[in-house]
Amino acid sequence: MAKTEDMVEEDGEVEVESAVEDTAEEVRASNREGRGEGRRRERGRDRDREYSEKEFVEKLVKLNRTAKVVKGGRRFSFSALTVIGDRKGRVGYGFGKANDVSEAIRKSIDKAKRNMIHLPVKNGTIPHEVTGLFKASRVLLKPACSGTGIIAGGAVRAIMEAGGVTDVLSKSIGSSSQYNVVKATFDCINKMMDARTISRNRGKSLNELWG
């Protein structure tokens, strides 16, 4: 009888040990699944951050380097002019200076995000002809029919592409300084009139406004 009880106890110990091993294996498997789920969640958050960072289109218009001669040699400084936009009618520009190229670009992008304005876009083009001035630079923008494309160069093209304009005619007159051209182009944008905004300010419908 004692021998039988010993055998039962041994069998019970074996069953307990196998149950403990099964439980430990389940815990390890759940931990692996948890770690995998955590990694997938982290990758998802990284993708969300990447998408949020790509919300704006960033275009470098001009990068300039200056040198200061000192006793130990030359010290370089960089300045960057960038234009950003969401391709949905919001654009901005910024100017930044730093001793490193990447830092100068980062500063200019931060300033551009703080100084964004609305660019009225109608059927892929601007609503009407407009001229912008800044010091010795003058920029003329004219609406174009579908399929024309962006007939512009340099800073004007970068601004139109960032704002979501697909068809426009432009002409830069006077000084070709990129800084002045950018500010003249933004003067054009500030002068543009949106029909819905004007009708709302006048308290009239679009049909009444257009007669």
Give the best-scoring range by mean pLDDT among 27-36, 42-51, 185-194: 185-194
Is 80 exceeded by the pLDDT of residue 24?
no
At residue 204 the predicted structure's pLDDT band, cuts being 50, 70 and 90, is confident
Q: What is the pLDDT of residues 112-124, one digit of tens each?
A: 999 999 999 989 9
pTM value is 0.71
Is 70 exceeded by the pLDDT of residue 152?
yes
Q: Please state the three-class secondary structure of the chain as a single string.
A: CHHHHHHHHHHHHHHHHHHHHHHHHHHHHHHHHHHHHHHHHHHHHHHHHHHHHCCCEEEEEEEEEEEEEECCEEEEEEEEEEEEECCCCEEEEEEEEECCHHHHHHHHHHHHHHCEEECCCECCECCCCEEEEECCEEEEEEECCCCCCEECCCHHHHHHHHHCCCCEEEEEEECCCHHHHHHHHHHHHHHCCCHHHHHHHHCCCHHHHHC
The pLDDT value recorded for residue 208 is 77
Fold of 57-196: Ribosomal Protein S5; domain 2 (3.30.230)
The pLDDT value recorded for residue 28 is 60
At residue 49 the predicted structure's pLDDT band, cuts being 50, 70 and 90, is very low
Q: Distance between CA atoms of 68 and 18, rounded to whole angstroms?
A: 77
**What are the sequence ranges of the domains in the chain?**
1-44, 57-196
The pLDDT value recorded for residue 207 is 78
Q: Give the residue-averaged pLDDT of 174-186.
A: 96
